[in-house]
A and B are shown apart, each in its own frame.
Chain A
Amino acid sequence: MSLPVLLEFARIGFVNMLAFRLRYYTGVVTYFINVTVYYFIWRAIYRMDPTYAGLTFQEMVTYVAVGWVIRSMYFNNIDTQMAADILEGRISLVLLKPVSVQWSYIARALGESAFRLGMLTTPTALVLALVFPVQPPASVAHFGAFVVALLASVLMVGALNFIVGTCALVLTSILGLLRAKFWAQELLSGLLVPISLFPSPFREICAWLPFQHIAFTPLMIYLGRLSWPEILRVLLLDWVWVVVLLLFGAWYWRRLSVRLTVHGG
């Protein structure tokens, strides 16, 4: 799929979000409430142990606040959209176009992320920075590396969601899988609890999974908890995962789409 077509799909994703812009004014409130809840939970824990998990309280608040701010950007629900398109037969309209199915969905997700960046991420970041003691990034260079990692997060969530959405080709009901994937991602990405707090075998397993690159590693880079050789290694691994997941998704779609049945009409 050529770049102009990709951009046009992204533009459609953006324009489509404009139709629902009101939803984002409430989104800021939702994210604010989430961060507030975690703020009080962590404050209670740090009252008992001020050096918990090797992070200071202020670092933990920053982790939580920045974590939710970036979630507002990398999040997309193309898995749900795909599942609905497949189960309701609208997928045929995607198949009728001379475009890659995978990239038409991911490009739309990118357009939505661009929209969220302006309408949700930026206002949420401003509100949180005003209310909570959030630290700035460790340095300008760290912030640059953080942005590179964040771009990979957006693509990775898109690639993962495409794989999950593809499962709808062989399942009559996909709600359970969507839920399970949603919570697995929230937990394994390190958004709810930093992965360094997980018990030992679990932590090692996470290191072999792609999810930690969605939130945990970008946040560690932001906080300056990784040395530069570590940052470079993590970024490389991060982008390798993105490529692997995209390739797997393309292969998986090709394999399952042969079994497609389009219902109705």
Chain B
Amino acid sequence: MKLMPAIVRVENLVKEFRTIERREGLLGALQDLFHPRYRTIRAVDGISFEVRAGEMVGYIGPNGAGKSTTIKMLTGILVPTAGTVTANGYVPWRDRAAYTATIGVVFGQRTQLWWDIAVIESFRLLKKIYNVSDADFRARLRYFDELLEVGRYLHTPVRKLSLGERMRCDVAAALLHNPPLVFLDEPTIGLDIVAKENIRSFLREVNQRYGTTILLTTHDLSDIEQLCNRLIIIDRGRLLFDGELTALRDQLWREQAIRVFLKDRDQADVLERLQVPGATCERLDALTYRLRFPRAERRVAEVIRAVVNAVEVRDIVIEEQSIEDVVRRVYLGEVLQEARR
């Protein structure tokens, strides 16, 4: 992969919010009135990363990790407490008007379309705002209709659309001016499998065709698996991991397991007596066993060969560790070292 220039550069980004800490009871409420106790919350606590042109980056973390706050600073809505951001050559919050002309944003939980009027009216407003030519406008509407099938909703008021239909229109609206940089905050939230797949393939297609850089947050890890070559994990405002998905999996998936289904009971004794070096054998039920061994030391093929040479098996299943398992372990605090850049 040739190295593209960095399009987004984030350095030591910090965002603090000040909230009033409420005291309990009536007396407490009165005290709050005259001497409020403030508490400072660090939603984002010193995050740094870069995104190169044409990359598709997944930005994930448990609820309250600071994902949305980061996105809001990257899109110029919020002003950070400390740290710097440059994106498309702008400082987002300082050059808001010029900068926002060069990006597209989708907030999955909110619509940017006008609620009570037909979708096409919102599109026409966006066309004027971003100064899209008539020819480009028509061509892109056709293109969006091909991939997202938004054509038949264009004349329906947004409030009458289903969530999936609305989200497709929202994604189309964010890309109407063909921005080089797109932020998506939970673009697949609440969608069914077909709608999700539809949006994913659209994003893939746009990324390939126009080299659009995409940064997305999600709780659905299949979004990451299918779209992103790179993953950034944050929690409590701090960066936990930044690297390729495969690197994360390699690092945390230290133990491989295979499940062995035996032909009959006689084979059970043989298997239990069999010593595969480095592997531990665990009985799941009368005819099913699980063998576990370190991925770094034993190859799956070796272990399987040793097993089938010794016993008669009905079947063998290689247990894949899902991305969910890997990420769950990161969220639960599994230490990450080497893959951190």
Q: Which A residues have a C-beta under 8 Å from some C-beta of B?
A: 4-5, 8-9, 11-12, 15-16, 18-20, 89-90, 92-93, 95-100, 258, 260-262, 264-265
> Assuming the A-B contacts A15-B117, A16-B114, are A95 and B129 also in contact, with contact meaning beta carbons closer than 8 angstroms in the complex?
no
Q: A-B pairs with CB below 8 Å: how many?
A: 73
**What chain A residues lie within 8 Å of B99 (beta carbons)?**
98
Among A9, A90, A96, contact of B100 (Cβ-Cβ < 8 Å): A96
Whether B116 lies near A98 (C-beta < 8 A) is no
Among A11, A15, A265, contact of B185 (Cβ-Cβ < 8 Å): A265
Whether A90 lies near B110 (C-beta < 8 A) is yes
**What chain B residues lie within 8 Å of A16 (beta carbons)?**
114, 116-117
Flag whether B210 is at the interface (Cβ < 8 A). Answer: no
> How far apart sit A260 and B72, CA to CA, in the bound complex (Å)?
11
> How far apart sit A97 and B77, CA to CA, in the bound complex (Å)?
10
Residue of chain B at shortest CB distance from A96: B105
- A-B contacts, 10 of them at CB < 8 A, read A89-B110, A90-B110, A92-B72, A95-B76, A99-B129, A261-B17, A265-B68, A265-B110, A265-B185, A265-B186
**What chain A residues lie within 8 Å of B75 (beta carbons)?**
96
Residue of chain A at shortest CB distance from B20: A172
Residue of chain A at shortest CB distance from B108: A265
CB of A172, distance to nearest CB on chain B (Å): 9
Whether A262 lies near B78 (C-beta < 8 A) is yes
> Assuming the A-B contacts A16-B114, A93-B107, A98-B101, are A258 and B128 also in contact, with contact meaning beta carbons closer than 8 angstroms in the complex?
no
> How far apart sit A143 and B4, CA to CA, in the bound complex (Å)?
65
- Render B288-317 as a binary contact track against A, CB cut-off 8 A, 1 for contact: 000000000000000000000000000000
> How far apart sit A228 and B128, CA to CA, in the bound complex (Å)?
42
**What chain B residues lie within 8 Å of A100 (beta carbons)?**
97
Whether B112 lies near A93 (C-beta < 8 A) is yes
Among A12, A20, A260, A262, contact of B121 (Cβ-Cβ < 8 Å): A12
Q: Which of B45-99 contact A (CB under 8 A)?
A: 68, 72, 75-79, 96-99
Residue of chain A at shortest CB distance from B130: A98
- Among A8, A9, A20, A97, the most chain B Cβ lie within 10 Å of the Cβ of A97
CB of A100, distance to nearest CB on chain B (Å): 7
Whether B110 lies near A93 (C-beta < 8 A) is yes
**What chain A residues lie within 8 Å of B124 (beta carbons)?**
8
Q: Which of B157-186 contact A (CB under 8 A)?
A: 157, 185-186
Whether A95 lies near B125 (C-beta < 8 A) is no
> Assuming the A-B contacts A93-B107, A265-B107, are A8 and B77 also in contact, with contact meaning beta carbons closer than 8 angstroms in the complex?
no
CB of A3, distance to nearest CB on chain B (Å): 10
- Among A12, A18, A96, A97, the most chain B Cβ lie within 10 Å of the Cβ of A96
Among A5, A19, A92, contact of B110 (Cβ-Cβ < 8 Å): A92
Flag whether B109 is at the interface (Cβ < 8 A). Answer: yes
> Assuming the A-B contacts A12-B117, A15-B117, are A258 and B17 also in contact, with contact meaning beta carbons closer than 8 angstroms in the complex?
no
Beyond the given A12-B121, A97-B129, A265-B185, could you list 14 further A-B residue pairs with CB under 8 A, ordered by the A residue number? A12-B114, A12-B122, A92-B107, A92-B110, A93-B107, A93-B112, A95-B76, A96-B76, A96-B105, A98-B97, A98-B129, A258-B79, A260-B77, A265-B109
Among A8, A11, A19, A92, contact of B129 (Cβ-Cβ < 8 Å): A8
**What chain A residues lie within 8 Å of B185 (beta carbons)?**
265
- Among A11, A264, A265, the most chain B Cβ lie within 10 Å of the Cβ of A265
CB of B341, distance to nearest CB on chain A (Å): 29
Whether B78 lies near A19 (C-beta < 8 A) is no
Residue of chain A at shortest CB distance from B177: A98
> How far apart sit A265 and B75, CA to CA, in the bound complex (Å)?
15
**Top 6 closest pairs, chain A to chain B, by CB:** A98-B101, A8-B128, A265-B109, A19-B116, A98-B100, A93-B112
**What chain B residues lie within 8 Å of A260 (beta carbons)?**
77-79
**What chain B residues lie within 8 Å of A8 (beta carbons)?**
124-125, 128-129
- Among B105, B129, B185, the most chain A Cβ lie within 10 Å of the Cβ of B129
> How far apart sit A150 and B130, CA to CA, in the bound complex (Å)?
32
Whether A95 lies near B77 (C-beta < 8 A) is yes
Whether A5 lies near B129 (C-beta < 8 A) is yes
CB of A13, distance to nearest CB on chain B (Å): 10
Residue of chain B at shortest CB distance from A7: B128
> How far apart sit A4 and B127, CA to CA, in the bound complex (Å)?
11
Among A19, A93, A95, contact of B96 (Cβ-Cβ < 8 Å): A95
CB of A140, distance to nearest CB on chain B (Å): 37
> How far apart sit A76 and B7, CA to CA, in the bound complex (Å)?
42
> How far apart sit A135 and B17, CA to CA, in the bound complex (Å)?
59
**What chain A residues lie within 8 Å of B157 (beta carbons)?**
19
> How far apart sit A21 and B117, CA to CA, in the bound complex (Å)?
13
> How far apart sit A186 and B256, CA to CA, in the bound complex (Å)?
76
Whether A98 lies near B109 (C-beta < 8 A) is no
CB of A249, distance to nearest CB on chain B (Å): 16
> How far apart sit A9 and B121, CA to CA, in the bound complex (Å)?
10
